[in-house]
Structure 1
Amino acid sequence: MTALFPTYKRFNLIVEQASGTTVEDTDGQSYLDFGAGIGVCSLGHRHPAVQEKLETQLNAYWHVSNLYHNPIQEKVADLLTRYSTGDQVFFCSSGTEANEAAIKLARKATGKHKIISFNQSFHGRTFGTMGATGQEKIHTGFGPMLETFQYVPFNDSDALKQAVDGETAAVMLEMIQGEGGINIADYDFIQQLADVCRKNHVLIIVDEVQTGIGRTGKPFAYQHYGISPDIITSAKGLADGVPVGAMIATEALRDSFGPGSHGATFGGNPLAMAAAEAVLEHAFRENFLQEVTEKGHYLMEQLNKAIGQLPVVSSIRGKGLMIGIDCNRNVSYLVESLIEKGLLVLSAGPHTIRLLPPLIVSREEIDLAVDLLHDVLTDEKAPIS
């Protein structure tokens, strides 16, 4: 009997160690990791540059209060603002916390309470971010959600325009809905969203927890759309596996988060900052982002060639190294079968296989993953449900 709450449906895999794009279990079996800890290990497991920074920081100090100056926080905040439209950064320990901070900041800065988000969105599991999430399964069992959130269909400009009113503080969205099924925002929809928000003095919050830090071939996914969000949230790939979150906002919102307005005991922890500094110095390099873009194109091409015409596959979509494979059956069996074959993948809803390989993945590893996907997806034993 485990002493852990059964909050996770775990696969039959016990991890012993991991390095680069490979995970090894306690039986010595190796797995090619195309889940990367749900998009967290952006530079792979135990990247040398990240490990070196962590070891250096371990020999300096592990934690001090945010009541004192921490120079490494300034370095990471500078990198995040240099490569985004933001000017100020608040550090916390997770994507949920970053989104919670964004919700609080938007309400406090505008003096308005309503926030519009989208069906099939996912923004976290605190009561505030759960309320922002447009998925009924996330709400079930917890009673009434906060009444200040309104959900509209994704990519529906008319529905958005009808929802915005004088009490709307912000519109909150993912450029690619990760947990909701790898649903990609239409370019024209985002342009209209930005126009509606500007005309109605409504803030734009872009949740980049899963899409940011080079995942789509840009520092942040919103940069594919040419817009300037007021608030950006980041976590997952920001520190290559060390818990961290960040909310990035424009200078105009600075005074709304003064002393005492918000806080996080572990926010900006020196170890997390050391890892984040190493990641950003590596992942935001122009040639590295170009490689991510090229490998993303290559992965899509190989997937379409190998499995695009299979009866089980409905569609393949994505951007950069964030790919969804829609299937005409429940994918839980397929995910388990892929693990047995030696490939770790994720699901995004009941019918979508989600691929989030480390950004350092090689073309040879992409070829291997595609071969394994082909083997499993051509298995007629997979049940339709």
Structure 2
Amino acid sequence: MNWLEIEKRYDSGVYNKHDLVIVRGKGARVWDHEGREYIDCVGGYGVANVGHSNPSVVEAVKRQAETLMVLPQTLPNDRRAEFYQTLVELTPPGLERVFPTNSGAEANEAALKFARAATGRTKFVAAMRSFHGRTLGALSVTWEKKYRAPFAPLVEPVEFIPYNDVEALHRAVDEETAALILEPVQGEGGVRPATLEFMQAARARTQEVGALLILDEIQTGFGRTGKLFAMEHFGITPDILTLAKAIGGGVPMGAMVTTHPIADKMPKGGHGTTFGGNPLAMAAGVAAMRYIATHRLWERAAELGAWFLEALRELDSPRVREVRGLGLMIGLELKERSAPYIQRLEQEHQVLTLAAGPNVIRFLPPLVIERSDLERVLEAVREVLR
């Protein structure tokens, strides 16, 4: 059976497909249908922090699938209550009200609606190079014009400011602003960490004018940057925190977490989701979060990430413009297009990576990856840059 041909024949066509079919994964490795093994530095776009087919998550999903898979949020459930409690024990004090979703884009959609309901304002401020999703609301605060232009007009008003520009932040965030939404590290925008000054100014300015601060930790959360949440690098707590990707250990899910006063401003029935908070996803989320916390995967990300970042910088290739990142969220910016190098890493070295803009190779390996695998990745990068 030619699965690649079948998928390409019937697929919607919105993705550029690789010429391979992945059929199995374990830890930081995946295998294609012909048995070839790859080191996975895509990690499901940052989903597989606990590794592919993590035994704790697999067991939780099996057990829950045999018990109860679907239940709307109007009917309370033991797994959902356990998920809420587990998540709130990990988030900073004050962030204690949870709206479960099926994805990161949905978490951001919820955040935008809760922000408008809580403030009575309509304006949003976001950053240039930001990426918050492709659904219409999340797309409205996403910078990249190739995503936005075909679907205008979007939600307005939205003002975009240069990332890490404190003066521009102060000018844009005013008494008409419902919320400022930021990624602590811009992922799709090139793996660009925020500065301490910028993030602290974001917290101070929003409080000064009565606007909310939304932190999109969909890619940075749950250990990716060397802290449990990237906000810890900056010593701030947002009004609304959006999460997804690694939260479910591979099962599709997300969450918006906020404060009691903000949650209480949303009218009954003001937002909803059929599948969000289903018992199957909740069981997976509890297992994934407990695994991350028990094994303190953020410490592993900090140690391995610091080594890998420095090792990439020491390659000293004339093709490289900059290497940057936090923890195991790393971008290698080239002076030319990255796509040919990403393709060669896959085809010649069985290393899977992804782009972050036209010139950046992005590395998002599972946090359980072994240093020996990262050493192999480093040698593969060295070879393709020669």
Cα separation, 2, equivalents of 1:278 and 1:137:
37
Give the 3-state SS of the residue equivalent to 1:141 in structure 2.
helix
**Among residues 354, 363, 366, which one is paired with 2:374 in the alignment?**
366
1:151-300 aligned at under 5 Å gives the runs: 151-285=160-294, 287-300=296-309
Q: Distance in 2 between matches of 1:220 and 1:78?
A: 17
In 2: Cα distance, 1:141 partner to 1:260 partner: 31
Structure 1 counterpart of 2:119, one-letter code: T
Aligned with 1:338 (options 324, 334, 345): 345
Separation of aligned partners in 2, 1:248 and 1:310: 43
Structure 1 position 89 matched with structure 2 position 98: yes
Aligned twin of 1:349: 357
Alignment of 1:2-41 (within 5 A): 2-41=9-48
Question: In the TM superposition, what is the alpha-carbon distance from 1:295 to its structure 2 partner?
Answer: 1.2
Rounded Cα–Cα distance in structure 2 between residues aligned with 1:270 and 1:364: 37
Q: Displacement, 1:19?
A: 1.2
What SS does structure 2 have at the residue aligned with 1:192?
helix
TM-score, normalised to structure 1's length? 0.95
Query: Aligned with 1:284: secondary structure?
Result: helix
Deviations along 1:285-320, one digit per CA (max 9) or x if unpaired, are 474322221111121122223x2x101111111101
> What SS does the corresponding residue of 1:233 show, helix, strand or coil?
strand
Match for residue 324 of structure 1? Answer: 331
Quote the residue 2:4 is aligned against.
none
Question: Identity rate of aligned residues, in percent?
Answer: 38
Given that residues 101 and 262 in structure 1 are in contact (C-alpha distance below 8 angstroms), is that contact kept between their aligned partners in structure 2?
yes
Of stretches 341-350 and 158-167 in structure 1, the one that deviates more from structure 2 is: 158-167
How big is the shift at 1:258?
Answer: 4.2
Give the Cα–Cα distance (whole angstroms) in 2 for the partners of residues 95 and 88 of structure 1.
Answer: 17
CA contact (8 A) 1:302 1:367 kept: no
* Aligned positions, number: 376
User: Closer, same or farther in 2 for the Cα pair 1:40/1:287, shift >3 Å?
Assistant: closer
Contact 1:20 1:47 in 2 (8 A): yes
- Structure 1 window deviating more from structure 2 (158-167 vs 88-97): it is 158-167
Distance 1:324 1:162, change over 3 A: same
1:107 to partner: Cα distance = 0.4
RMSD: 1.2
Q: Is the 8 A contact 2:98 2:255 kept in 1?
A: yes
Does structure 2 retain, via aligned residues, the 8 Å contact 1:330–1:350?
A: yes
Match of 1:68 in 2: 75
- CA–CA distance in structure 1, aligned partners of residues 143 and 294 of structure 2: 34
1:108 aligned to 2:155?
no
- Quick one: which amino acid aligns to residue 8 of structure 1? Y
Q: Deviations over 1:206-252 (max 9, x none)?
A: 00010001111222111110011000000011112110010000122
Contact 1:238 1:245 in 2 (8 A): yes
Partner of 2:50: 43
Residues 15-42 of structure 1: per-residue CA shift (max 9 Å, x gap): 1211111111111111100110110111
SS in 2 for 1:325: strand
Q: Which stretch shifts more, 201-210 or 292-301?
A: 292-301
Name the CA distance, whole Å, in 1 between partners of 2:178 and 2:211. Answer: 5
Q: Is the 8 A contact 2:83 2:285 kept in 1?
A: yes
CA distance in 2 between counterparts of 1:106 and 1:366 reads 41
SS in 2 for 1:89: strand
Where does residue 384 of structure 2 map in the other structure? 376
